[in-house]
Structure 1
Amino acid sequence: METTTSLEEKIQQLPPELQKEVEQIVQSLWEKSQHTKRQKPKFEWAGALKHLRDQYTSVELQHEILQERMKQP
């Protein structure tokens, strides 16, 4: 019958140089997990152009936005 050993116990049984390597790997995985958390998009702007509905079609608005973006440095 095999006894189970906790991850911490296994790490403690490693030589110091391998313990340091495990620490670096875990740190790398932790940093990776922090970067992959994405916020859900917020639609606070929804309806902000409602007053332009009668003046422009959606395609015309897209053209206006493109022209404004091209003006910026």
Structure 2
Amino acid sequence: MHEKEIEEKIQKLPEDLRREVLDYVDFLLSKYRGKENLRGKFRFDWEGGLSEIREEFTSGELQHKALEWR
């Protein structure tokens, strides 16, 4: 796709900035891989996170509070 253009621009950079480009590419690859693994799957690791305030608020009250905070 744009490989040639990317390569030409990277060649114009000093060595230290080329290392930054590589680090950023690694970051993007790891970020993409992470999202790819979660695609189509629901995670409920947050479940029970508000259990300590269960007696203080109803779910409706929490929804209203969340809208106020936005």
Question: Which protein is bigger by CA-based radius of gyration?
Answer: 1
Q: Which has the higher contact order (CA 8 A, sep 6+)?
A: 2
Q: Report the TM-score, using the length of structure 2 for normalisation.
A: 0.42
- Return the structure number with greater helix share: 2
